[in-house]
Chain A
Amino acid sequence: MSEELNIVEAVNHALDDAMAADDTVAVMGEDVGVDGGVFRATQGLLEEYGEERVMDTPLDEAGIIGAAVGMAAGGMKPVAEIQFSGFIVQAFHQLKQHAARMRTRTRDDINLPMVVRAPYGGGIRALEHHSESQEAIYARMGGIKVVIPSTPADTYGLLQEAIDDPDPVLFLEPKKSYRAFREEVPGDSDATIGEAAVRQEGSDVTVVSWGAMAREAQAAVQTAEQDHGIDAELIDLRTINPMDEQTVIDSVQKTGRLVVVAEEPKMAGIASELSALMAEENLLSLQAPVKRVTGFDVPFPLYQLEDYYLPNEERIVAKMKEAVEF
């Protein structure tokens, strides 16, 4: 297979291929069957695989993740969809207290090869609670992996890896980018959970982002080059946990400067973690303070103000300049 897909189509193809290859893979969630998912990520799967493997579940996030824990313990590979990541909160305990802990609790006797997929992030003028970006909360739950793709090719490859992974994976999909662009998606993706991608090499400053912010960062890097002559290195983190720290360290050793772009709040976030990583492991490489361009430490606003909440090109370029001109 090699065809032009957008991100949501890449999700659909990854699920389809995984279900075709392995009878124990089952999709479950609200509206994933007849409706094909509210974003159509699961479209066509019910017709192909039947209601035993494509389950329109009761409207109960804790029930969905809790039942997925049981199904995984019972030998299946459930892929549960939470319709919007903001509603994972309704199932937080199942993710934290059971999905993340089961392997440790049983000293490896029960592992849970399950995936929780959820569209995350703002920028689509959605209702309250539908625009959350809270990956750091999940990153510190030892026992689950957190993956956030930003391109169709990575989405296809990483979701298949997530389904095959023996550990639980939270797969956060940048819904603002779902249909933003298409690209050629090769059947054998080289994307690997735990490996960041260097999207562009440069020498003045390292810009790290992931998910929906990868496109903002890309645009900012181009503008910074055109308008200010800044030669930036651009990294897409792709996996939040386990994090590819070495790629970021190697890059900053070359550039001496780091700007982290994150949609989530600033407090105790992944950008904070990368800043701390520089302070602990890479201090003497730094030629400027680490800059963070993030959401704010407030509840995500209703959509009239969301453009002010979300990092954009202007804010990113400003911080890149500050770093370079320090």
Chain B
Amino acid sequence: MPRTQIEDLDIERLEILDEDGNVDEDLEPDLDDDTLLNMYRDFIFARRFDEKAFKLQRRGESGTYAPFKGQEACQIGPAYAMDDQDWMVPSFREGAIALSRGVDPAQLIRYFMGDEYGNKVGDSHNMPVSIPVGSQIPHAAGLGMAADRMDEDHGVLVYFGDGATSEGDFHGGMNFAGVYNAPVVFFNQNNKYAISVPREQQTASDTLAQKALAYGFKGLQVDGNDVLATYVATKEAMERAKNGDGPTMIEGDTYRLHVHTTSDDPSRYRSDEEVEEWKEKDPIKRFEAYLKDRGVLDDDRIEEIKDEMTEKVDAAAKEALEMDEPAVDHMFEHCYDEMPDRLQRQLESLKETRGDL
């Protein structure tokens, strides 16, 4: 038999909550009411934060901002499926999971206000924002390899978008993780556009998830606007990773409802009709319907939570705006463990010649 099929590969898609909030009871995760309510609060907090950060830029109080509106389920589901000790490796549109993992909102605003203080990660296992597209993916492989080698039992979750799958670093990170069986979950937020270029022009693959198969591990697609699906998929993938059963790539099928960044005009590359269709699939709308149906939420409670989160975000913005601007010394002090003489002299020279220092 000279011609035989030697690989039988399949890709599954997971959906648990439909657009109207109807749940597939066979697949529904066992989450208690308090946890579900906390997830909802995180959703509202993230959405309010996103709106505020956008407004701060428009008012000239902050710099370029990359909104995540519409993609929150790809971040809040995984936040609840991970341990604090698991590494989260973001690109630059992961504010929702950052907040959900306890990052101080005022600090996050400071990053977009042009202050490196905003990227201080402390001893959390959150990596800082990474702007060069896809370049953080090999870091996740390395973090997973280090965890294995140091006998630590935490896993790693790394975010990247549809455009990033065209980058060499996507290949490199997936390949290293596959070869070393590193405990990594690759979470692709397929939000359909890399600025203006549609997903179809990044790759001729039918799905992004299928790319995982070439690296020797599982790939699946989830409804990326369904927080129960992103939660379940991440939970299962993280368990496999930590058990030594290999990495997983999850393609979250979602949509960026807002601009790429505050410098972008989406009307140049996509229609209002398309955006309206995706607004119907908003992750918050369906989760709210599910929680109301389950008796966890009612309209009064929703209003209460929204007011509370608005206040919290306003307070964070106020705090960020009132912070002192960073000392110019920081630019020099944090370049190396010890400041070399050359930088010391450059700092002194700057201070001597600039009258405002």
Interface residues of A, Cβ cutoff 8 Å to B: 24, 26, 52-53, 55, 57-58, 60, 62-63, 65-76, 78, 93-94, 97-98, 102-111, 142-143, 145, 165-167, 194, 241-243, 245-246
Contacts and interface: CB of A to CB of B under 8 A. Distances in A.
Interface in B150-181: 150, 168-169, 171-173, 175-176, 179-180
Contact of B172 (A53, A60, A73, A165): A60
Nearest to A144: B336
A66 B120 contact: no
Nearest to A28: B145
A134 to B, nearest CB: 20
B336 A66 contact: no
Nearest to A113: B337
Given A74-B147, A104-B116, A105-B119, A63 B132 contact: no
B262 interface: no
B320 to A, nearest CB: 16
B127 A142 contact: no
Contacts of B148: 52
A60 B334 contact: no
A58 B141 CA distance: 13
Contacts of A107: 116-117, 119-120, 330, 334
Nearest to B331: A104
Contacts of B146: 70-76
B149 A58 contact: no
B116 A105 contact: yes
Contacts of A246: 341
A66 B330 contact: no
Contacts of B29: none
Q: On chain B, which size bracket covers the interface?
A: 35 or more
Contact of A58 (B87, B147, B175): B175
3 A-B pairs closest in CB distance: A70-B142, A66-B138, A74-B146
B121 interface: yes
A55 B120 CA distance: 31
A93 B135 contact: yes
A143 B168 contact: no
A110 to B, nearest CB: 6
Nearest to B340: A242
Contacts of B127: 73, 110
Contacts of B139: 66-67, 69-70, 73, 98
17 contacts: A58-B175, A60-B176, A62-B168, A63-B173, A71-B146, A72-B142, A73-B127, A73-B139, A74-B143, A76-B149, A78-B142, A94-B169, A98-B139, A103-B334, A103-B335, A107-B117, A109-B121
A194 B339 CA distance: 12
Interface in B108-130: 116-117, 119-123, 127-130
B342 interface: yes
Given A70-B140, A107-B119, 17 more contacts: A58-B179, A65-B138, A67-B138, A67-B173, A69-B139, A70-B144, A70-B146, A71-B142, A71-B146, A73-B142, A73-B143, A74-B87, A98-B136, A102-B128, A108-B334, A110-B121, A111-B337
